Amino acid sequence: MPSSPSSETTRPLRIASINTNGIRAAFRKGMGDWLATRDVDILAIQEVRASTEDIEGLLGPDWNILHDPATAKGRAGVAIASRKTASIHRVELGHPDFDSAGRWLEADYEVNGTIVTVVSTYVHSGEVDTPKQVEKFTFLDSMLTRLPELAAHSERVVVLGDLNVGHRKFDIKNWKGNVKRAGFLPEERAYFDRILGAEDEADYNNGAGLGWVDVGRKAAGEMDGPFTWWSWRGQAFDNDTGWRIDYQLATPALAASVVNYTVDRADAYDQRWSDHAPVVVDYAI
């Protein structure tokens, strides 16, 4: 059975998330080199767009792979790769439309005598005034139902992945020009107000809303970014004109154990292997 290269009692649990924009292409461009240096324990992957066999072949025998592929070939797909075996995993979000969409995967891991639940999710990008946006809202509605159930299931839960919404103005470089664009619509951001609290609430991101914590914003504070996605086009990456749409949302007990948060932004445009950057968090459990 694959095991962690380091004892879980001597170092924090390192959980990372990345939208690969197609894992086979990402590995061709250098994802494997990144992964080899980061000592990750649990890796949540979105937009896999490959078979389970492909993932196993790319990551190698030291990883345990859970995969929820989309029925539509070449689209979506989420996975969780871990150094230790999950005790149980689930793929149902609670809405029949999403059971085969490759967008939601839960797994429970025993870590130092406690259960840590990890959810890899890929929220729809949406498109204003189209069925795609309706589908996105339906998915977010299902998340609002599922999150309290997860919190009741375990004190330590993290929902991570490409959530395709910038919650606050700090989460997008040119926010004023994007308020009518999918990803920064007031209606979309209101879902995050429900989850984390609105920014004008005294206990925003510290018990407001459904009580979840945006680990990235907690670590970064009131500042722009750190962004996690940049268009391939133009000078967006070089000018850091990005969006922070990749999150780790944690229950308060798990968020309290965070000791490090990093966005692994590539050093240069030609070193990118995805249009997203990995989000890496260490939890001292």
47 is in an annotated binding site: yes
CB 104 within 8 A of CB 78: yes
Position 267, amino acid: D
Neighbours of 1 (CB within 10 A): 5
116: helix, coil or strand? strand
Active site residue 162: yes
H or E element, residue 26:
helix 23-29
Query: Would you say 19 is a known binding-site residue?
Result: yes
Is 67 tagged catalytic? no
Would you call 179 helix, strand, or coil by DSSP? coil
Is 200 marked as a binding-site residue?
A: no
Catalytic residue among 124, 276, 282, 283, which?
276
Q: Distance (Å, rounded) from C-alpha 27 to C-alpha 25?
A: 5
**Are 44 and 78 within 8 A, CB to CB?**
yes
Among the listed residues 41, 162, 214, 282, the single catalytic one is 162
Angle between helices 131-153 and 186-196 (to 10 degrees): 0
> Residue 35 carries which side chain, given as an amino acid letter?
L
Asked if 276 is an active-site residue, the reply is yes
Residue 164 is assigned to a ligand binding site: yes
What is the DSSP pairing of strand 114-122 with strand 156-162? parallel
The structure tokens listed for 89 are 């995993």
Nearest to 66 by CA among 38, 93, 102: 102
| Residues of the binding site | 19, 47, 162, 164, 275-276
| Residues of the binding site for Mg(2+) | 19, 47, 162, 164, 275-276
Active site residues per annotation: 122, 162, 276
